[in-house]
Amino acid sequence: MNVSAYILLLGKGDFIMNKELTKSVNAYIANIGVGYIKLHNLHWNVVGSQFKAVHEYLESLYDSFADVLDEAAEILKMCGEQPVASLKGYLELATISELPDGSVEQKKALQITLADLELLRDQAAAVRALADKDDVFGVANLMEDHIANYAKQIWFLRSMLA
């Protein structure tokens, strides 16, 4: 479901988010932003016998992260809140760490990606729980969609690492 469809789920009076939920969504946005750059780093610097497959997979992930970032920021705007939108802001809030420049062996690149996706899945679940507590249905439903996508990507990564 795209973000514009969530407007129908917000309903009257649901445009007000408490500060805890706003802060939580912004921390999620920050992790997606840092993760987006980190996936580019891995994509450009992965090495190994399965380079092409891993390189293309990482590209598909960062392409999807752009949509996730946009959806999370837009849901905040629809609720009258300000999303974090600068690299400085991302780095202040993110718990996903940056990756130094340089070659990364394909197995390590997949392990790093798996750990970050597991963190994002758990973070989206926490945001979803906060949104559900206050009946902010649009945010809760968006996080459910993100959690389902993370689950699929985590399965892919675990299978690739087996």
Domain ranges of the chain: 19-161
Q: May I ask the CATH class of domain 19-161?
A: mainly alpha
pLDDT in tens, 88-100: 999 999 999 999 9
| Residue 79, pLDDT score | 87
Where do runs of H (alpha helix) occur along the chain? Answer: 3-10, 19-45, 51-78, 87-93, 106-133, 137-161
| Residue 11, pLDDT score | 44
**pTM of the complete model:** 0.90
Q: Cα–Cα distance between 7 and 22 in angstroms, integer?
A: 17
Is residue 33 within 8 A of residue 87, CB to CB? The reply is: yes
Regions of the chain short of the pLDDT cut 70: 1-15
| Residue 13, pLDDT score | 45
